[in-house]
Structure 1
Amino acid sequence: MNKRQRRIHLATMVQAAAERNPSGPITLDKPLSVRPELGTRFTVADLAAVVDMLRAKLHACGIRAGERVAVYKTNNADILAITCALAGLGAIPVLVSPAVPGPIAAQLVQRAQPRHILTDAGKIASGDVDPDGYRQVTPSVLLTGGSAEGLQSLDGVVAGVVPPLPDFDTDGPCIITHTSGTTGVPKLVEQSARGLAAHIRIQRRIATLFGIREPWALCVSFVHARTYSALAVGLLRHIPFAFLADHDVATVRRVFREFRPGLVETHPNTFVQWEPLAEDPDRPLSSVRYYISTFDAIHPRTVRILLGASDRRGAIYFQAYGQTETGPVTVRLYTRRGARRAHGRCVGYGIPGLTRVRLRNGRRAPSHIEVRSKGRGLTYVGEEGRFTGQLDGTWWNMGDLGYRGKWQCVHLLDREVDRMDGLDSVLEAEDTLMTLVPELTEVVLVEAASGGILPVVCTRDDRPLDPGAWAAACVDLPVMQPPLHTTWDRLPLTATFKVKRVELQRLVQDGRLPALAAER
C-alpha cells in the first residue's frame, strides 16, 4: 500500500494523519467509552493510539482478517475508532445503528452471519441485546466496555503488540453499513475500499476547490459510510474536528460556543431541529461558513434560516443527494441570495468523475432516477438478488422519481413507493407547508384510513398550530383532512432521522398515533 492509499484507506487513514499532523485537535460532546480518561479534547495522535490499542485488544480476542464483525453498541464516537481498528485487522465491520431496535438489529446480524459481535453492557441492560440469542448466530459475543455475566470485555484485555497490517484487496468487501430502512427492515450494503476511496477523492476535490479548512463539526450517524469519507477528507486537509453523538440543541449549543465551527454537517431533519440556534443570543452559528447535508433534500426554509444565522461573507449550503448504495449522486449549493428563490426539489447535478444520472422521460415528465457511480456498493448482504434487481446493466435504479429542470439539473419528486393520487409531488407540497407555516418542525402527508390526504404535523415546542396560517398555506394544494398534530418523539424515525412513511401511515390508519389534543 503506497502513501496515497494509506491516507484514504479505512484501515490506515487515522495513523497516516497522525504521522503528518499529530497535534490536530479533536473535540467530542462526551468522552470515548473505551478511553474516558482522554476527556472530550485530544489530538489526532491520541485517536491513532486508541485505534492501535483497540487493534491489539481485538486481535487478542481472536478477531482475524476476512472475518465479519458486527458492531451494535451504545452511541458514541468510539464506534469510529472501533471501525478503523477492525479494518486495520483486515476484518469487515458490520455497523448496526444504536438507534435500531433490538429485534431489527438481530435480523441484520442474522443476515450478516458475523464471526464476532461487539456490543456493550448498556445494550444488554436495555434489553436490545440478548447474548444467548446472539450465540445462536455466532459463538463470539464481546463487550467493548462494562461487564455482563459470561462475556469477555475489552476492559479486561491487555493490549499487547499491535499486529502488522494484512494485505488488502481494494476490490473486496471493506465495510458493511445499512440503509435507512424507511420502508421496512434496512438492507445491508457491502462496500469496497475502492468504492469508499471514490467518495473520498471527489469530496477532497470539492474541498480543495473551495479552499475548505474550517473547523468541522460533524453530527452524522457513526455507522454511516458518510462519516468515514468525511473523516478522511478532514484528516487529509488537517481540519480540526468536533464529533457529536448527541443531536440535542442544548448539547450542540454548548459544543459550538467553544468549538466555533466554520463547517457544520448533519442530517437534513436534524438541521430543522437546530433552527432555534439561529435565534440564540450566544449566536453559536455565527462562525459557520459552510453547511453540508446528505441523505435527503433539505427544506428551503431551513437553508434560509441557517445561512441567515452566519456572520460569514459568502456563506454556502452544500446539499448532496444520494444513497448508502451509491454514495453522493448529485450536488448543489445555495448562497443567501440563491436560497431566497431556489426550488426545493432541485438536487443539482451529477458529480464529474464520480456519477452520471439519467432520467428517461426528460424534462418535467416524472421518470425513474438512475445513476452510474464509481462509489456504488458491491451487493446487499443476504439479499444479492434484490441488489441485482435494481440494476439495468451498470445503471442503478434509485427508487426515486424526478425530472430534468430547465438547466438540466435533477429535480427529485418522491420515492416511488410514496406517490399519492392528487399530488404531483408529496415532497414539494410538504416544502410549501414548511415554508408558509413557520412553527412547523415536520409535516408528512399520508393516506388516511378513510381515503384522502392526512397531514401529520409537529410544531416547535409543541405549540398550537395557527389555523389561519395553515389555511393560507393550503390554498393552492389539494383538499386535505384536518392535520393530526403530534409530537416529534412519537414519529417512527430512522437512524438518520428520516420519517418512516410506511410505518407512520400504518400507525395513522390503525389509530395508534396519539394527537396532542387527545393527551390533554
Structure 2
Amino acid sequence: MTQQAALRHPASLFYLDKPFDLAPELGMRPTYAQVADLVEDIAARLYASGVRSGDVVGVYKSHNADLLFLACAVARIGAVPAMLAPFLEWETVVTMMDRLRPAHFVTDLTKIGESGEHGERLRALVPSTMLVRGRAAGLTALEDAATDQRPPYHEIPRDDPALITHTSGTTGVPKMVAAARRGTQLPINMQARLARWLRYDETYAMCISFVHSRTFAALATALELGIGIAALTDADVDNVRRIFLECKPGGVEAHPNMYTHWEELADDPDGPLANVRVFMSTFDAIHPRSIRVMLGASKRRWPIYLQSYGQTETGPVTMRLYTRRNIRRADGRCVGHPFPGMTKARIRPRPGIDDGTRHGFIEATSTGLGITYVGQQELYDERRDGAWWNLQDIGYRSRWGCLHLLDREFDQTPELDSLLSAEDTVLDRLAALTEAVFVTLPGGVQPVVCTRRDEPLDREAWAAAVATLPKVANPVHIAWKHMPHTATWKVKRNVLAAGLADGTIPVLDTVRPLT
C-alpha cells in the first residue's frame, strides 16, 4: 500500500515526533516516496535473510511509528507480521512466542539488551532472530543483508491470515488474534466510506498503539486519501500541542484516556485543537466529558466525534456520532448501532441470572472476526457460538436498537449496577480528575482517582460528586504514572486492585484502600 500511495502522492508528508529507528536519516518529515523506499529496502533485507511468503514473523521492537512500516515490509514479502506491543515484558513475550512459534523474530538492540535469560529461551523457540539495526553475536543483522533483490509480490487469499495482533491483556497474558485478509479489510472499507461521506482531505493525526489492528486500517485509509499523517509516539500534552500547532490536523484519533489528559489543550490560547473537524476513538468507551471538551475546543462550524466499539477479535462492531448538540443529553453507556451489512449485535441472557433487567452478554457477528487465538484454539472456540462472538461485556439494547455497555463481565459487582456509569458520573462532576476507576476489593468498591498533573484532590468536591451514588469508600488518589494500563491506555483493573491490596502501588494521600 505504501508503494501505490507514493506513486499517487509522492510529496505528501508524515509528521513525526521521533525519527524512525529504522532510518533516522529521514528526519522528522519524511515523504510518502521516502517511506515507500524504506519499506522496499527493509523488505529486500528481510527476503535476503530468509523470510518467505507464508512465514510468520514476530515483531517486538522499541516504541516508534516505524513499527507500522516494518509490518508493511513483512507483508510486502507475503509473510504474516505478528505485532507485539513494545511495553510487554519479556516473560510475557516469550510465553506468546511459545504459542506462536514463528519462523522469524525481529527486534532491536534495546529490547535484546533487556531480555536477560528470556533471550535464551526465545532463541530455543524461534529458528531465526533478526536485528533491525546494529549487531549482536548470534543474531542476523538486517543492515548487513543484501538489498539488490526485490522480493516477488504475493496475493494473500482472502481467508488466509494476513496479520496477527493481540488483545490488551487486561486480565492476563494477551491472546494473539489471527485476522484473515478479509478481516483486515473490514475497518478499511468502513473508514473509506466515512471519508467519502465527509469529503475528508485534511491532515490526520493519530496517537494510537502502532501494533494494534486498528492502526493499520487507519494508515491504509490515510494513504489512500494521500493526506498528511501525523504519527505521534508520545501522548504528553506538551508534545501533542507542538505537533498539532504545526500540522493543524482536521482529524484526530487517540485512545479514550488520552483525550481526558488532553482536555487542558482546549483552553490553550493558540488553539492546537481549533482546526479539528473529526475526533475519533475506538474499542474503549469514552467518557462524555471528554467528548464535550474536544468538540468545544474546535473552531470548525460542525465538528463531530466518532466513537466506535468493538474488540481486537471482532474489529469495530458499533459506532456512534456525537455533535455539540446531542452530547448535551448523551448517555455515556450508549456505544451506538452496528454497521449495516458488516456487523450485528445481540444480547444473550446470562445463565442462571434473572435480575429483572434486559442486561446480558453482548455478542456480535462481524466480517472482520478473527479466525483463531494462535495456540489457544479451545479458548477461541469457547467464545464463539457459530457466527456469534461473546465479547464478555455486559450490556443491553435500547428500544431504539442502540447498544449500551455497562461493564466487563469480570468487573461487575452487586454494589453498583455499572462501574463504568459511576465513573462517568464522577468525571462529569469533577473536571480536575483525569481518571476515576472503581475496583472491587475485599472490603467493597474502591474508587481510585488521578488528578491533572497530580494536583491535590478536593475532598469536599468529591463528596458532592458521589452524593447521588450508592455509598462507596473514600477515594484513593494515585499518580497516573502508577496506574497500571495497557498499550492502549486501558486500565488493568485486576492489577490495580492487587497493587492496592498489597501496598505496591503508592498513594498521594493518607487515605488507604479498603482491605
TM-score (norm 2): 0.95
2:415 alignment partner in structure 1? 422
How far off is 1:518 after superposition?
5.8
Matched, 1:146 2:134: yes
From 496, 499, 503, the equivalent of 2:495 is 503
Matched position secondary structure for 2:30: strand
2:353 alignment partner in structure 1? none
Same amino acid, percent of matched pairs: 48
Supply the AA of the counterpart residue of 1:79: L
Mean CA deviation greater in 319-328 or 229-238: 229-238
1:339 alignment partner in structure 2? 327
Supply the AA of the counterpart residue of 2:372: T
Supply the AA of the counterpart residue of 1:373: S
Structure 2 Cα separation of the partners of residues 389 and 454 of structure 1: 32
Structure 1 Cα separation of the partners of residues 440 and 357 of structure 2: 25
1:477 alignment partner in structure 2? 469
Q: 1:11-410 counterparts in 2 under 5 A?
A: 13-127=1-115, 130-360=118-348, 365-410=358-403
Supply the AA of the counterpart residue of 1:501: R
Unaligned runs of 5+ in 1: 1-12
1:467 alignment partner in structure 2? 459
Q: Number of aligned pairs?
A: 506
How far off is 1:151 after superposition?
2.2
Matched position secondary structure for 1:161: coil
Mean CA deviation greater in 423-432 or 194-203: 194-203
- Residues 348-407 of structure 1 show CA distances to partners (whole Å, capped at 9, x for unaligned) of 000012101112469962111111100111100000111111111111111111111242
- Residues 199-241 of structure 1 show CA distances to partners (whole Å, capped at 9, x for unaligned) of 2112211111121222100111110011111111112222211
From 454, 476, 486, the equivalent of 1:494 is 486
Conservation of the 8 A alpha-carbon contact between 2:131 and 2:142: yes
Conservation of the 8 A alpha-carbon contact between 2:132 and 2:142: yes
Structure 2 Cα separation of the partners of residues 151 and 409 of structure 1: 52
How far off is 1:129 after superposition?
8.2
Conservation of the 8 A alpha-carbon contact between 2:171 and 2:494: yes
Conservation of the 8 A alpha-carbon contact between 1:102 and 1:129: no
Structure 1 Cα separation of the partners of residues 154 and 200 of structure 2: 34
Aligned in 2, Cα 1:315/1:364: closer, same or farther, shift over 3 Å? Answer: farther
How far off is 1:130 after superposition?
4.2
Q: What's the Cα RMSD here?
A: 1.6
Runs of 4+ in 1 over 6 A off after TM superposition: none
Aligned in 2, Cα 1:128/1:297: closer, same or farther, shift over 3 Å? Answer: farther
Supply the AA of the counterpart residue of 2:128: S
Matched position secondary structure for 1:41: coil
1:435 alignment partner in structure 2? 428
How far off is 1:290 after superposition?
0.5
How far off is 1:285 after superposition?
0.6
Supply the AA of the counterpart residue of 2:424: D
Conservation of the 8 A alpha-carbon contact between 2:163 and 2:184: no
Aligned in 2, Cα 1:128/1:19: closer, same or farther, shift over 3 Å? Answer: farther
How far off is 1:128 after superposition?
7.1
How far off is 1:111 after superposition?
1.1
TM-score (norm 1): 0.95
Matched position secondary structure for 2:344: strand
Matched position secondary structure for 1:516: coil
Conservation of the 8 A alpha-carbon contact between 2:48 and 2:149: no
Supply the AA of the counterpart residue of 2:461: A
Matched position secondary structure for 1:317: strand
- Residues 68-110 of structure 1 show CA distances to partners (whole Å, capped at 9, x for unaligned) of 1100000111111110110111111110000111211111111
Structure 2 Cα separation of the partners of residues 457 and 372 of structure 1: 36
- Residues 318-366 of structure 1 show CA distances to partners (whole Å, capped at 9, x for unaligned) of 0000100000000001101111211100000000121011124699621
Matched position secondary structure for 2:72: helix
Structure 2 Cα separation of the partners of residues 31 and 154 of structure 1: 19
Aligned in 2, Cα 1:113/1:409: closer, same or farther, shift over 3 Å? Answer: same
Mean CA deviation greater in 381-390 or 125-134: 125-134
How far off is 1:120 after superposition?
0.3
Conservation of the 8 A alpha-carbon contact between 2:77 and 2:154: yes
